[in-house]
A = this chain, B = another copy of it.
Amino acid sequence: MVVESYKELSPSEFFYRNRELAGFTNPSRSLYTAVRELFENAMDACELHGIPPDILIILREIQKISNEVSIYRLYIRDNGSGIPEEHILGALGKMLYSSKYILRQSRGTFGLGGTMALLYGQITTNQPIKVVSATLRSRKVHQYTFSIDIRNNRADVKDFKRFRNKERWHGTIIDFMLEGNYSRVRTKIVEYLKYTATIAPYAEITFIDPEGRFFYFKRTTTKLPKPPKETKPHPHGIDIEILKKMLYESDEDMTLLEFLTNKFHRVGNRIAKKFLAYARIPGEMTIKELLRTSDRKLIERLYRALQNYDGFLAPSANILSPIGKEAFKEGIIKEFEPKYVDVVVRPSSSYKGHPFIVEAAVAYGGKIPGGPGEIVLFRYANKIPLLYDEGSDVSKKILSNLSWSSYRRPMDGPTAFFIHICSTKVPFKSVGKEFIADIPEVEKEIELAVRELLRGLTRYTRQVQKKKEAVKRLGIYQKYLPQIARFSAELAGRKPPDVTKLISRVEEKYKVKKEIKV
């Protein structure tokens, strides 16, 4: 008989064993994920605090292990808000410890990508990790050298230094070693940075790669979108465990009426009273009474009623941080220099209690990649470019099912669509968080945005077409009209008339000048 041995894992041990869950599969993908996770943390550390990001990434090859694997040193520096000293080791040396476990739009997906990247580096190279950080207006800069104690899910400090911060520098520097294969992910990493820069023209991003190449994404504006704000949950956005947690964490002498108005998003006194009448639960009942009632089903009834009541106000989107029309346009022009660009920002909407905003852009010409007539799609969620699994994304579906014959677009080059959705909860369809589910509310907003862009593009295409024809016609007039005039005049035995006025009038009508090039 085999006796089973039971064992408990620390969160670090679990993620160390299942690192592919967080995107750390093979050396190339892992390197990409590590750069991406730390870069996103860096961007968030700036944007959430209204600081125009200035981010430097240096990746150097330290040692070749085999044809497929090398050891790299990854250095990443931001000018963000810094990590308070007491949280440095927690935020970077401990799994499931993060400032992202609140209800707020942010890039991070699980609040563990940064620590996973460091853990992956440690697993593959056995080297300690160096972190330097200073918060805003801090008089000190803190520097920790540590490794992650996987068994106990905590940082094991090797060295600590505190420096005077004369220049009042703020931000975070992370410096560590990891295995990878750069040549296989070079394109992905550079694309990822370029596409991020496209929607963040207020960010200065510098990347020096292991081959010594220098990628510089210039800042063209210092105007940042307003940062996202933390929000309270909407009654339609919770599950029963969240409700219970909210009840247990509230003052138990609070009445249910107070609970509803204080703890939920957009629930005022009037709506709360109406709701309680609908749920047939007395508003003056206290949380204590609710929790201790013999009626076990009461909490469940409260929960179902919260789910089903349709008198709540839709969640407000003013806690979200969209890119904004200006910045979106600015970024696309900066990175792609198109002939035509147009941006549509849809009014906010919501699904299942989560507010969201769709922003979309269309661009044609310049450095937009692709062949003539091709439709290219750039997808973003909470300001992260989505580079994988395009085929399964709702935006791809919408573009594929569109009745293209109703619209016109220039066919001498590719047309690019940029689609961004931001939300406190982006409706990703799968674990990989690389594509958006086709939730009807979201689908509708994207489709409306795309159609609006296409109407604009159709007008532009017609105008260009018209101009082309006018230029052609003008060419003919200019060539033949004077001759016809001269010939007719000769036939009639008269002096040839001045046709320049006539030509001007034609130019006038089609609003073209001879020098126009289309």
Find out whether the CB atom of B240 lies under 8 angstroms from the CB atom of A126.
Answer: yes
- Report the bound CA distance from A110 to B304 in whole Å: 32
Find out whether the CB atom of A96 lies under 8 angstroms from the CB atom of B126.
Answer: no
Q: Does A256 contact B (CB under 8 A)?
A: no
Q: Does A16 contact B (CB under 8 A)?
A: yes
Q: Does A163 contact B (CB under 8 A)?
A: no
- Report the bound CA distance from A48 to B13 in whole Å: 25
Q: Does A295 contact B (CB under 8 A)?
A: no
Q: Does A81 contact B (CB under 8 A)?
A: yes
Q: Does A401 contact B (CB under 8 A)?
A: no
Closest B residue, CB atoms, query A94 = B8
Partner of A245, one of B110, B125, B151, B240: B151
Find out whether the CB atom of A1 lies under 8 angstroms from the CB atom of B97.
Answer: no
Find out whether the CB atom of A303 lies under 8 angstroms from the CB atom of B136.
Answer: no
Q: Does A18 contact B (CB under 8 A)?
A: yes
Closest B residue, CB atoms, query A109 = B18
Find out whether the CB atom of B227 lies under 8 angstroms from the CB atom of A2.
Answer: yes
**Which residues of chain A (74-127) have a CB below 8 Å from chain B?**
81, 84, 87, 90-91, 94, 96-99, 101-102, 110-111, 122-126
Interface string of A124-155 (1 = CB under 8 A from B): 11100000000010000000000000110000
Q: Does A49 contact B (CB under 8 A)?
A: yes
Residues from chain B with Cβ under 8 Å of A18 in the complex: 110
Interface string of A300-335 (1 = CB under 8 A from B): 100110000000000000000000000000000000
Q: Does A11 contact B (CB under 8 A)?
A: yes
Residues from chain B with Cβ under 8 Å of A102 in the complex: 5, 7
Q: Does A21 contact B (CB under 8 A)?
A: yes
- Report the bound CA distance from A239 to B123 in whole Å: 7
Residues from chain B with Cβ under 8 Å of A239 in the complex: 123-124
Q: Does A10 contact B (CB under 8 A)?
A: yes
Find out whether the CB atom of B241 lies under 8 angstroms from the CB atom of A8.
Answer: no
Q: Does A431 contact B (CB under 8 A)?
A: yes
Partner of A98, one of B1, B7, B10, B126: B7
Interface string of A213-254 (1 = CB under 8 A from B): 000000000000001000000000001110011000000000
Q: Does A487 contact B (CB under 8 A)?
A: no
Find out whether the CB atom of B96 lies under 8 angstroms from the CB atom of A14.
Answer: yes
Find out whether the CB atom of A2 lies under 8 angstroms from the CB atom of B96.
Answer: no
User: Could you say how many copies of this chain the assembly holds?
Assistant: 2
Q: How many residues of A contact B (CB 8 A)?
A: 54
Find out whether the CB atom of A49 lies under 8 angstroms from the CB atom of B432.
Answer: no
Closest B residue, CB atoms, query A91 = B6
Residues from chain B with Cβ under 8 Å of A20 in the complex: 430-431
Q: Does A4 contact B (CB under 8 A)?
A: yes
Q: Does A291 contact B (CB under 8 A)?
A: no
Find out whether the CB atom of B241 lies under 8 angstroms from the CB atom of A5.
Answer: no
Residues from chain B with Cβ under 8 Å of A303 in the complex: 126
**Which residues of chain A (1-32) have a CB below 8 Å from chain B?**
1-2, 4-11, 13-14, 16, 18, 20-21
Partner of A6, one of B6, B11, B98, B240: B98
Residues from chain B with Cβ under 8 Å of A96 in the complex: 8-11, 13-14
**Which residues of chain A (441-474) have a CB below 8 Å from chain B?**
none
Partner of A126, one of B111, B123, B245, B300: B300
Which 6 pairs across A and B sit closest by C-beta, in order of nearness? A4-B99, A9-B96, A7-B101, A6-B87, A8-B97, A123-B241
Q: List 7 A-B contacts (CB under 8 A).
A: A1-B49, A4-B99, A6-B97, A7-B102, A126-B240, A126-B244, A126-B303
For the A-B complex with A7-B99, A431-B431 known, give 4 more contacts whose Cβ atoms are closer than 8 Å.
A7-B97, A13-B96, A123-B239, A150-B245
